Amino acid sequence: MGSAVERTDEHVREYLIYRGFTSTLKHLDNDIKVDKEKGFRVDKIIDQLQQLVQNFDLLGLKEYWLYLDRRLFCRLEDVYRTTVNKLRTSLYRYYVINGNVEKTQEFFQKQASELQGQAEWRDWFILPFVPAPELNPAFSPYFSRQWADTFLVSLHNFLSVLFQCMHILYFDAEVQKMTSVMEENEQLRQLLFALQTDQRDQRDGDQVVHHKLPAYETVQGKEVKQLSNQTLTSESTINQSSNQSTNQSTTNQSSHSRHKRIQDHEKERKELFSKPASQAEKKAEPVEAEPEPADFSNSRAVAEGGGGLSAEQPFIKLSQEEYGEHHSSIMHCRVDCSGRRVASLDVDGVIKVWSFNPIMQTKATIMSKSPLLSLEWATKPDRLLLLGSGVGTVRLYDTDAKKNLYEMNIDDTHPRILSLACSPSGSSFVCSAAAPSRTGSVESVPRLPIPVSGQLLLWDTKTVKQQLQFSLEPEPVAINCTAFNHNGNLLVTGAADGVIRLFDMQRYDSAMSWRAHDGEVYSVEFSYDENTVFSIGEDGKFVQWNIHRCGVKQSEQVLPQDATGPFVLSGYSGYKQVQVPRGRLLAFDSEGQHVLTCSGSGGLIYRLTNGEPAALESVLSLGGHKAPVVTVDWCSAVDCGTCLTASMDGKIKLSTLLAQKS
């Protein structure tokens, strides 16, 4: 409902701008700012109610609830009136338990005439005169954090269901109808493909059967002769399209056995692709029973249990949805800056652009002849997508128009585009180009631990021209990951030589660099206050660096191997699929106090503690995956955080979290 209102507001704005009605546009913006319905955004309505409670504005709280009752709740059927009354009673009790003695007495003085006849308030009039109401058995449950969280979540869910069922605007219904039609078309297309495949397999099977002698034909010569004549006759009848009863029975028997073989083959194939993760878990059982020196296993078990952390858990997992349009391992999965669309890239070079609000729907599918290695959303406008290939080109793709706008040739000597980062202003982007990898060299010759050479380039988005090439000291090296700060004045990069480089984007030169990891740097991100940088490297370490003191560590933690890679998916007969990290391995929440990382069965959220020494505390395991998670992202554009976790089996899990404010 909220997304439909936002789209309607945007259409009205575009119309007013097109017509030149600037004064009307100003009035519209002013009315939207003071809109009591908050654009039908449930999180905004909850925040408004909490703000009125915290400010002890009883009159404003009553007026706002009365407005919601007249505007929204009156549309409901009579059977829901009891639920509305219970929520209003809980809201008033939430107001009372958050106030002091004076505010409590003031509440009952002003509300006495309204509440004295209600049975649920009969015992509450003594509350101002109880010395310690939080210890009184009659009132102590209402002073607990659990009751307050339960009430807020119940109110949130009630309003969410209410807005979905009101149907004031029908955009969402049209979207759902279109989605159902597209799904039906896809099912019919798959059915047609299956029928064509069965027909082709049947035709090929007929040819194989007619040229193969059954084992029992060697028993008697007479029988061999008779069966061979029948075989020749059946061949001639198939070629001449004649219908004889004896040959029909033989063909039916052979086709029945052939279909049975095909079904058995399909069954084995499904088991082959569905059991690797489970078999890997079974194989790992004796290993997990052994004691491990790391402390992350214990914290992860507590997070997955969930029961022990209910009092301190900072997030509630409201829902988890799956996007399963990919058929191979995911490399990148990024949400745009507005939090409305997601772009995901798999190892086959297929890119899916999809939305998840209000429903999960594929917007565009991009298939490239050349291999794709990286992607990044443009910041302004956010409908543009940057695609880096393995042949030295970067494409600018319009996801709304579903077409390529530009294709830039970067460098023939450095064809692999490993990383892309768009500046917050949207005027330029940084491109990391690397030389071909040395994995294709002769196996007998030992490879020297020399990093692959590379370039770091700055391109202008509007003119589509290269602005400059950054100097990489001490030698040109492949840059694996890049990230801007909030205003684009700083750029941090992680390279294949284990060095982190910080660039001043106002002077376009390197401000500092230091040796960060033993091996390659896989992922780098600025902290929330932008005084530090976090990095994950090939050595399995999660390190926080002070950017004001070159090379000084704030903290260092050793993460499990399934959080840093290389990621391994095991199968039958010793089959192993190994994937080197390419996408983001860490993502922060909106306040920078929690970090999302990869794991073997789903995303894992840690709390960043500021103690001495600083440490990571596991608080929540998202779960849901049967294969190792290889990249993550955390969308904080909306109040309900959305975590994206993508795995090697092509599945992407979208987990919606509700932050519990302390």
Read off the pLDDT of residues 307-318 as tens digits, 9 standing for 90 and up: 334 446 788 888
| Cβ-contact 593, 610 below 8 angstroms | no
Determine the 3-state secondary structure of 413 from DSSP: coil
SS (H, E, C) 582-627: CCCCEEECCCCCEEEECCCCCCEEEEECCCCCCCEEEEEECCCCCC
Residues 6+ apart with CB under 8 A from 315: 594, 605, 619, 620, 641, 657, 658, 659, 660
Which residue, among 447, 451, 406, 455, has the nearest Cα to 431 in the 3D structure? 455
Quote the tokens at residue 329. 């391992």
Separation of alpha carbons 118 and 370, rounded Å: 72
Q: In one letter, which amino acid is 240?
A: Q
* Domain locations along the chain: 1-169, 315-659
| Cβ-contact 440, 414 below 8 angstroms | no
Determine the 3-state secondary structure of 226 from DSSP: helix
| pLDDT over threshold 70, residue 145 | yes
Separation of alpha carbons 489 and 494, rounded Å: 17
Backbone phi, then psi, for 489, in 5-degree steps? -80, -20
Quote the tokens at residue 40. 């039908």
Average pLDDT, the chain: 78
Fold of 315-659: Methylamine Dehydrogenase; Chain H (2.130.10)
Quote the tokens at residue 236. 């001639």
pLDDT band of residue 412 (cuts 50, 70, 90) is confident
Question: What is the arithmetic mean of pLDDT over 490-509?
Answer: 93
According to DSSP, the residues that pair with 320 across neighbouring strands are: 655
- Residue bearing tokens 């799904």: 183
Q: What is the pLDDT of residues 368-408, one digit of tens each?
A: 888 999 999 998 878 899 999 999 999 999 998 888 888 99
Q: What sections of 357-413 are H helices per DSSP?
A: none
| pLDDT over threshold 80, residue 502 | yes
Lowest-pLDDT range of 175-184, 321-330, 354-363 = 175-184
Per DSSP bridges, beta strands 454-460 and 465-469 are: antiparallel
Separation of alpha carbons 349 and 336, rounded Å: 20
The predicted pLDDT at position 166 comes to 61
Quote the tokens at residue 560. 């499990």
pLDDT band of residue 156 (cuts 50, 70, 90) is confident
Q: Where are the extended beta strands (E) located within 461-566? A: 465-469, 479-484, 490-495, 499-504, 509-515, 521-526, 532-537, 541-546, 552-558
Between residues 336 and 258, the one the model is more confident about = 336
